[in-house]
Chains A and B, each alone.
Chain A
Amino acid sequence: MVTKSLIQVFPQPKWINTISCDGKPCGTGGGCGSNTTTDSKGNCHSEACGDSNSCDSESMLKWFSEKYKDKVEMNIADYSSINSIINALDELNNILEYNSEELRVTLENIELVFSQIAPFVAVNKVLAFVGKMPTEQELLETLDISIN
């Protein structure tokens, strides 16, 4: 039996700042700007987008989890209601605690934290990427290390 790796993603909430690379055609702006190329299917391929069919970084992660569904379980933080935000922050704080970090994110400091450092991406509770959405390759490398 293969144990799946758990990827927990805490992106910057959209009310704090608009996420770049949000479904725009490749090479037209935001995270889909200077370092992008177009893949064989005509989709954006950038640091933020991977080989997904959308430039949205969260979509890339969902696509990634689908592609590697036998190896990973992906949880992307839900900020759609006050209760879900509180639950997401509880999860994030558990991860921060596990990683021996003093920082705790609350409703009071959520803007302070996420306006300066986002996303938080944990693989099997270890903070694997902070302040930068991983590429598909980076995620794979990290997963290889954590799976082995």
Chain B
Amino acid sequence: MSKTILQMLSIYEKVGIAVREKLNDVPSQYNPQNIMQDYQSIIVLARVPKDVAKENVIGKYHYAIGTIAAQDAVIKYLIHHGYKYDIIGSRAKNISLPRLGERAGVGELSPFRTLAVKGWGLRTVLSAIITDAPLIQTTQAIGACTDKSKCLKTCPALGKDGVFDRTKCTSCGACVKKCPN
């Protein structure tokens, strides 16, 4: 079942699965139980926003529509097998998608607590599907966040201790541009 789901979602740059046992230590305010009490697994999806051609050409929105079609296929598959689901959008506030992505093996947490995905750096947009289906945990990502000095050097939101201070983040995007991964 897990393999089939991962194949269905192959349009995404990176997909991983985190099982409930791997998320027991998540703080209560961000715990996936807030969304589905009896969840068993979370499928984390990473996509890279694509620039679309300006020309009026059939297919220029294929990637954006394809990601929704892939989610739709997985949802139908889960329902067909008697499982529940819920979609966690990229702007969800009661859950930490980067943390889920890290646990699902999609990437590693960056110094900015965002998710670094191997080959895509900090450029991915995350979303997730939470379900009571018992899926198989994917392996942890390694080597997704390597040379942290490059991004940290450019960040205007570093505290005196050299640690990222979220309250000072201006969303300038310097970290995304400088990420060497």
Contact = CB atoms under 8 A, between A and B. Distances in A.
Interface in B4-18: none
Interface stretch (B31-39, B66-74, B134-142, B144-152): B66-74
Interface residues of A, number: 23
Residues of B contacting A: mostly: mixed
A113 interface: yes
A126 B89 CA distance: 27
Contact of B75 (A96, A109, A115, A145): A109
Contact of A130 (B55, B56, B65, B69): B65
Interface string B56-82: 111111101110110110010000000
Nearest to B69: A103
A109 B77 CA distance: 13
Contacts of A116: 68, 71, 87, 89, 127
A100 B65 contact: no
Contact of B68 (A103, A141, A146): A103
Contacts of A113: 68, 72
B56 A117 contact: no
A131 B65 CA distance: 9
A146 B56 contact: yes
Interface string A95-125: 0101111110000010011011100000100
A119 B75 CA distance: 22
B64 A131 contact: yes
A8 B75 CA distance: 28
**B: contact size bracket:** 20 to 34
A128 interface: yes
B111 to A, nearest CB: 29
B68 A128 contact: no
Contacts of A101: 62, 65-66, 69
Contacts of A115: 87, 89
B136 to A, nearest CB: 24
Contacts of B69: 101-103
Nearest to A130: B61
A145 B57 CA distance: 10
A101 B59 CA distance: 8
Nearest to A142: B56
A102 B55 CA distance: 22
Contacts of B58: 98-100, 126-127
A113 B53 CA distance: 22
A117 B64 contact: yes
Contacts of A100: 58-59, 62
Nearest to A141: B54
17 contacts: A99-B59, A100-B58, A100-B62, A103-B66, A103-B72, A109-B72, A112-B68, A112-B71, A112-B75, A113-B68, A116-B68, A123-B56, A126-B57, A127-B65, A128-B56, A130-B61, A142-B56
Given A100-B58, A112-B87, 18 more contacts: A99-B59, A100-B59, A101-B65, A103-B65, A103-B68, A112-B68, A112-B71, A112-B72, A113-B68, A113-B72, A116-B68, A116-B71, A116-B127, A117-B65, A131-B61, A145-B55, A145-B56, A146-B56
